[in-house]
Structure 1
Amino acid sequence: MADQITQIFTSAYPSGTNPGAVVSINFKGFQFIKSSGVTHLETPNRIDAKTNFRMASVSKQFTAKAIHELIKADKLTLDTRISTFFPNLKGKVGEIKVQHLLNHSSGIADYESLMGDQIKQPLSDADVLRIIEPSETLFFEPGSRFRYSNTAYCLLALIVEQLTGESYANTMKTMFFDPFNMKNSLLYDVNRKIPNRAYGYHPQKDRFIFADQSLTSSTLGDGGVYTSASDYQKWLKNLKKEMKGLNVEEDYLNRLNSMPVKGPITYSYGWFRGLDSTNEPIWFHSGESTGFHNIVLFYPKTGEHVLLFSNRDDLLIAEVFDKIMKTLGIAVQGIDNQQLFTWLSNVYANQIP
């Protein structure tokens, strides 16, 4: 099996001098890690298991877990209205509950659609709040349906800051990164050096264009985590530890907070959750940002995982991950034989297949 997956990976990412990727697998006793490419075209540093990639929307599970910890500490509840934290929100927008932000059932507009041409500098989570404060309408009644919104997770990060009295970045460090020994993981900060950093690129014909930042890549709650394959495995290990002895369906995911997406697939606490072909619970998420594409798949009962992080924003990742899943015999119910990365990409665009 190692030879098959090596062939799949190296056929897609053959060059040691281009932006590349890292793949990590722990599945049914098979453990595998492989990397290819460089972190920056202007340096000789090669991608490896300790390279820090921008996680984009894979970051949402960190934000959701912080909210989960604050709920356990009785700092808020799933039913707390967000006007508690943001009193300037108007009309129906202020009636949104925390659970609606967590499971993308708020009906709130994605801030990207409201930015306008006047935005010239990268946005913060606080900027997102200011952008949506004039809005009084929602796409639908909160809690009635699923509609993916990055705005929701920017607001959740601001809630974390209010309740902890710390910056979101410091809370991530003290709540997760330090206790889990994720030594190199951190939140993006334009003024802070990121160790072992991969820079993002966009393919253009036969070359790669530097594409590491955009106006929407500095928000934190929806996509600001930088981590490596090595550190992220520690994140999953600790998540699995929390699952030990628990009913996965009822405890962490919480049926009351799980919103149907399509068929057996639902969304809860920063993860899409579903079933594989043997009816085992399986969680998954991808991330798409300027210069970066990532995808993770996780079995909460066993801790098994498949992840692929890349510092290039082409769609090659969809084909590679699909071939790896098929080689491992993993299939997700409800995506109608589509590539998982492509299916997720359509969901983010609110075009649920």
Structure 2
Amino acid sequence: MTEATPLARTSLDQSGDARPEPDDDTPLAVAERRRADHNRHRVAIRFAALTTPGYLFMNAMAAVIASYGLLADSPAVVIGAMIVALLLGPIMGVALAITDGDWPLFRKSFLALLAGGVVVYAIAAAVGWLHPLVPITGEIRSRTAPNSFDLFIALAGGAAGAYATVSPRIAAGFVGVAIATALVPPLASSAILLTRGEYDASLGAALLALTNIVAIQFAAAVVLWVRGYARDNDGDEVSVLQFLGRHLGSIAVLALLGLWLAANLRSTVNDRLYENRVRATLSEALVDLEGSQVDSLQIFGLEDRMVIRAEIHGPIEPTVPQVARMADLIPAHPDGRPVDLRVRHVETRIITPRGLTADGIDPPLSGPPFAEP
């Protein structure tokens, strides 16, 4: 004789449907509560993925604040602007739609995400057009050369956003701010750069936004699948192969973007290493010029050569033969292009109570003061 499965203790909710008591721990009651939570979260995700006037207005205001924060080179303003952005909802809608195979939801969510992105891009372009004399800041430049680190950040952000959305104890709004920070600033940077005619940099920022969108969506879908939200047509949980099959497009796009981002990371690392080698070489060559030091270094490429601009501060101006010797000592660039060294000298002096002394040369502890040059 088999033992009967205990029935869940139920009560009627406002609609008259039976629901398990909160303190009922029978397997059936636990399953019913889980199903009810999933349904509630699905409704919330569907609602957040709608294109509404409020959704468009909040994203528009986020674009205005973010654009001016980028032009002001203020990270605090850029991050603060994302409090009003509403881009997590459509991305979660796309993730749930692909996970469930719900194509009507996918269409609505994708259109909402597209509408929000177009609003952000258009308003940022308008801000850039209104202020053509404001220089491009570091906050904008930092989003024009994405690499593998940005991909990992987006994957972590998507997983956190999805987990917060389906976890009642975590406020999804704060995670949404972090995700919006990964989307609105790159879109705004791309639009501003486009108005300045910097098309390559604009494309780099746009690809950063695309990378973040795809990575956040895929990571969110993985979390939803792990949490049991992925269902087939019969209502059963989908297998790993079914899940991967539904997200084959996202995986392919992520793989292509990952290869490109890895190449960017390698190029960035090589450029940093080469810059450090050049700086060290110039510093060693300045030993003969007592008190001189390399203050800043810029390296950029032309079609036929690499240009190195070095700003040297010191009391002694280097001669042309000395600059030629520095150029000979500079290591070759990794891509094989010849190096063109250009030195800008800035005379520096330090005034002490005992007289004038060169920058980096300590005055003697005793004796007469330094004579004025």
**Higher strand residue share:** 1
Larger Rg: 2
Q: TM-score under structure 1 normalisation?
A: 0.25
Q: Report 1 or 2 for greater relative contact order, CA contacts < 8 Å, sequence distance ≥ 6.
A: 1
**Higher helix residue share:** 2
